């Protein structure tokens, strides 16, 4: 399933076609991922929510996530991202 992420900047609106990591893992029958690195300039929680099943099933063994105040552009606090990750035992 694909989604459209709409990013509003001061000058324009950008639409980006996306796919959930859970869908890629399922479609490709991936059983294990050693490490997932996420650095998406503030949208980390959005990416993590798209890999919820994989996190719950511990398919992804390690996470490396850059979190900074850019997430506030998406109405997300850094703590929201940390709490989400912790809720899966990472």
Largest CA distance in the chain: 42
pLDDT tens-digit readout, 34-72: 999 999 888 899 999 999 999 999 999 999 999 988 888
First and final C-alpha spacing in the chain? 26
pLDDT tens-digit readout, 73-84: 888 999 999 999
pLDDT of residue 79: 95
Look at phi and psi of residue 29 and say left if phi exceeds 0, alpha if psi is from -120 to 50, else beta: left
Q: Which of 44, 45, 50 is nearest to 24 (CA)?
A: 50
The verdict on pTM exceeding 0.75 is yes
Query: Distance (Å, rounded) from C-alpha 77 to C-alpha 73?
Result: 9
């Amino acid at each position: 399933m694909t989604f459209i992420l709409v990013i509003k900047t001061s000058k324009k609106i950008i639409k980006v076609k996306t796919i959930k990591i859970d869908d890629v893992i399922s479609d490709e029958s991936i059983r294990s991922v050693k490490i997932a690195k996420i650095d998406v300039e503030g949208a980390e929680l959005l990416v993590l929510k798209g890999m919820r099943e994989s996190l719950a099933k511990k398919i992804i063994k390690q996470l490396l996530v850059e979190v900074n105040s850019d997430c506030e552009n998406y109405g997300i606090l850094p703590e929201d991202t940390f709490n989400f990750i912790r809720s899966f035992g990472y």
